[in-house]
């Protein structure tokens, strides 16, 4: 019995001549000889007939592989903006892990030689921040006065290490995220405040238009940023260092 696949028989046809080799002339191939044998490479460009294929039937050519499109993150967004968003997201996670309610700043004690410090610029800056917060506290019943829920109170000298939040526009993130960044800056400035992030949905800020949240956050980021830059200048003069070269020594008791 012979197998017929697609009309092609594997047994000799009546008109075909079949050459039969004598038994002694049979070539025995082992694996080594097979590996060494040269194998013909068929390509679609060669004008050859493939065994068992009717030359009248057109040969379908496989299409060229299409390039794989790898999605790029935030196309059209600058690296600085991506880094800003990542920073804000990290601040949200930080305050989500912290308990809701009152947050106290780290206790900081600065050590420097006994010198007369020029603190006029810093004092002017902190008075501007305090005056701004006082104005909102006087209108605490107003719907827009959401910042009073933070209850910010200055308790310690500023740490003034991380000023990143002061450089990020509030509108780049959600109101909740922008408040998280503000809380980080309040902490750096030595303020005690109420953590609003864990129970954001209960806050007044979550129920008003986002533009009203952004406005206050932007004002405070600006005021606190100037305040801490002035504080860095004070520390630099006390330690005799350029603030851009080296941070002054400070002691943070455990």
221: tokens are: 């980021």
CB atoms within 10 A of CB 128: 14
DSSP state, residue 101: E
Note the pLDDT of residue 248.
Answer: 42
Among 3-12, 141-150, 223-232, which is the least confidently predicted range? 3-12
Q: How many domains does the chain have?
A: 1
pLDDT of residue 174: 95
Residues contacting residue 6 through CB under 8 Å, at least 6 positions apart: none
30 compared with 135, residue with greater pLDDT: 135
The stretch 167-185 carries a mean pLDDT of 93
Residue 197 lies in a domain: yes
Cα distance between residue 133 and residue 192, in whole Å: 13
Q: CA geometry: angle at 195 spanning 161 and 81, to 5°? A: 55
Summarised one tens digit per residue, pLDDT across range 93-125 is 999 999 989 999 888 777 766 767 788 999 999
Domain assignment of residue 108, yes or no: yes
Would you say how long the chain is, in residues? 254
Q: Percentage of the chain surpassing pLDDT 70?
A: 61
Determine, yes or no, domain membership for 234.
yes
* Domain with 138 in it: 79-251
pLDDT at position 86: 93
Gyration radius of the chain over CA positions: 39
- DSSP single-letter state for residue 254: -
d(CA 189, CA 194): 15
Q: What is the C-alpha to C-alpha distance for residues 54 and 63, in angstroms, rounded to an integer?
A: 22
Decide which of 9 and 218 is more confident: 218
Examine residue 138 and state whether it is found in any structural domain, yes or no: yes
pLDDT at 13 over 90: no
Q: How far is CA 175 from CA 108, 158, 169, 216, 218, in A?
A: 30, 25, 11, 11, 11
Range of lowest pLDDT (36-50, 71-85, 125-139)? 36-50
Give the pLDDT band of residue 156 (cuts 50, 70, 90): confident
Three state DSSP letters for 182-210: HHHHHHHCCEEEEECCCCHHHCCHHHCCH
Residue 33 lies in a domain: no
Residue 187 lies in a domain: yes
- For 12-16, 83-87, 119-123, 235-239, which range has the lowest pLDDT when averaged over its residues? 12-16
Structure tokens at 121: 């610029």
pLDDT at 52: 54
Instruction: Give the pLDDT of residue 240.
Output: 57
In a domain, 149, yes or no: yes
Query: Residue 213 and residue 145: Cα distance in Å, rounded?
Result: 9
Residue 160: inside a domain: yes
Q: Are 140 and 56 in contact (CB under 8 A)?
A: no
Measure the CA–CA gap between 178 and 188, rounded to whole angstroms.
16
- Residues 6 or more apart whose CB falls under 8 angstroms from that of 103 comprise 183, 187, 192, 193, 194, 195
Mean pLDDT, rounded, of the chain: 75
Encode pLDDT of 207-243 as tens digits.
999 999 999 999 999 999 999 999 988 888 776 554 4
């Amino acid at each position: 019995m012979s197998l017929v696949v697609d009309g092609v028989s594997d047994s000799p046809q009546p008109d075909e001549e079949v050459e039969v080799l004598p038994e002694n002339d049979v070539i025995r191939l082992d694996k080594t000889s097979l590996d060494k044998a040269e194998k013909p490479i068929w390509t679609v460009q060669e004008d050859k007939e493939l065994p068992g294929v009717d030359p009248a039937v057109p040969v379908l050519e496989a299409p060229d592989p299409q390039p794989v499109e790898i999605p790029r993150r935030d196309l059209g967004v600058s690296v600085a903006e991506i880094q800003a968003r990542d920073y804000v997201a990290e601040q949200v996670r930080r305050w989500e892990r912290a308990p809701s309610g009152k947050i106290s700043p780290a206790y900081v004690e600065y050590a420097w030689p006994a010198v007369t410090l020029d603190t006029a610029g810093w004092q002017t800056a902190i008075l501007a921040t305090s005056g701004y917060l006082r104005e909102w506290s006087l209108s605490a019943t107003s719907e827009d006065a959401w910042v009073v829920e933070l209850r910010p109170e200055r308790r310690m000298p500023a740490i003034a290490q991380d000023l990143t939040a002061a450089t990020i526009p509030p509108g780049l993130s959600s109101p909740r995220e922008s408040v998280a960044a503000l809380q980080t800056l309040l902490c750096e400035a030595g303020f005690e405040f109420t953590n609003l992030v864990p129970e954001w949905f209960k806050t007044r800020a979550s129920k008003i238009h986002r533009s009203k949240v952004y406005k206050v956050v932007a004002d405070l980021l600006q005021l606190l940023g100037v305040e801490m830059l002035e504080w860095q200048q004070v520390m630099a003069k006390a330690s005799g260092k350029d603030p851009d070269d080296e941070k002054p020594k400070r002691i943070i008791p455990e």
